[in-house]
Amino acid sequence: MATWFDESRLDDEAVWQRADARLRALAESGARVRREVAGAEEATHEALGRATEMARPRAVISAGPDSRLLRAVLEPWCPVPFVAWPHPSLPGWAGGLDLVVVLAPDGGASVAHAVAEAVRRGCQVVVACPPRSTVADHAVGRWSAVLPTTGGDQLATAVVMLDYLERVQLGPEVDAERVAQALDDVAIACSPHRDLAVNPAKVTAIALAEAAPLVWGGSVLAARAARRIAESLRRVSGRAALAGDVEQLLPLLESTRQRDVFDDPFADGPRDLSPVLLVLDDGNEEPVVREARGRLQALASSRGVRVETLTTDAPTEVARYASLLLQGSYAAEYLGLGLVED
């Protein structure tokens, strides 16, 4: 069944009202961050008091499937060795000198074994999860703390944990309010009530309408946002959408056939979707990032590949990550709204 893109649907209130629940969830991202941080404040204060009784940990171990997000933020900054450990158990060397942190926004049992093992070994344990959950039950211990979250939002749960780690001087400045404000700014700019002429997410969706997106972010956090956005694009469109580093994307651009303005797109039936390079620019101007971005854009230009850029001027690393991720999520939703099966 053929699928085509009708951009008029993006400004049709009757259409996007049918996706109200998903769009509303995106718009409430900033509010969820504020709500989760405020709700965990008392428990965070108690955990800080407990932390002052103990020496700085030998290492920080982030356990569970969301460990890589914490690593992306903490690894360049953390003053002690930091290990992301997405496996169901802990590394064999983990013990009473180490801090184990866990994100479990859904309170699922997938990380319960690792939490129970950390408590049994005498590790310091801090878990951000729903207070009435399997993970919280396994986190009971003398040196354990549960930072309660209720919304199931991965980013908001991560901000709660990062706020704690900043206060114990194991992480960079987070400033939850700045993260929430960055999310609010995106929600205003990308609101369905703003028409195509001034809505960056709708513009991006149109650019990706007849394309196979290649998503790239230069910094560690931008690269993680790129992977999440590519997942969203695949989910809503059922098409290939790839995120990768420069060495992975360059061969794909090099193999792109240059477009001929005299080609008849209907002469030989349906044609393959052409790639579009979607660059996530979080303002990182390190030489290696600048050089990689220049290589990708130059090659795309030489092959006639369109380049779209999402930018942010949010003040902190986590806020910039949140801003780029939400912009891409809005674009994915609008892409899904515009696609029509013929």
Structural domains of the chain ordered from first start: 3-27+179-341 (3.40.50.10490), 41-148 (3.40.50.10490)
* Sign of the C-alpha dihedral computed for residues 11, 17, 22 and 24 taken in this order: positive
Average pLDDT for 80-105: 93
pTM: 0.93
Q: Each residue of 174-224: pLDDT tens digit? A: 999 999 999 999 999 999 999 998 999 999 999 999 899 999 999 999 999
Residue 102 in 3-state DSSP? strand
Residue 310 in 3-state DSSP? strand
The answer to whether residues 109 and 135 touch, using CB atoms and an 8 Å cutoff, is yes
The whole-angstrom separation of Cα 238 and Cα 90 is: 36
The whole-angstrom separation of Cα 304 and Cα 281 is: 21
Residue 105 in 3-state DSSP? coil
Q: How does residue 269 score in pLDDT terms, banded at 50, 70 and 90?
A: low
Q: Each residue of 210-264: pLDDT tens digit? A: 899 999 999 999 999 999 999 999 999 998 999 999 999 999 999 887 765 555 5
The single-letter DSSP state of residue 272 is P
pLDDT of residue 67: 87
Q: Which residue has the higher pLDDT, 289 or 256?
A: 289
* Sign of the C-alpha dihedral computed for residues 84, 80, 145 and 114 taken in this order: positive
What are the Cα distances from residue 16, in Å, to 21, 195, 226, 335? 10, 12, 25, 11
What is the DSSP pairing of strand 144-148 with strand 3-5?
unpaired
The whole-angstrom separation of Cα 85 and Cα 263 is: 51
The single-letter DSSP state of residue 87 is S
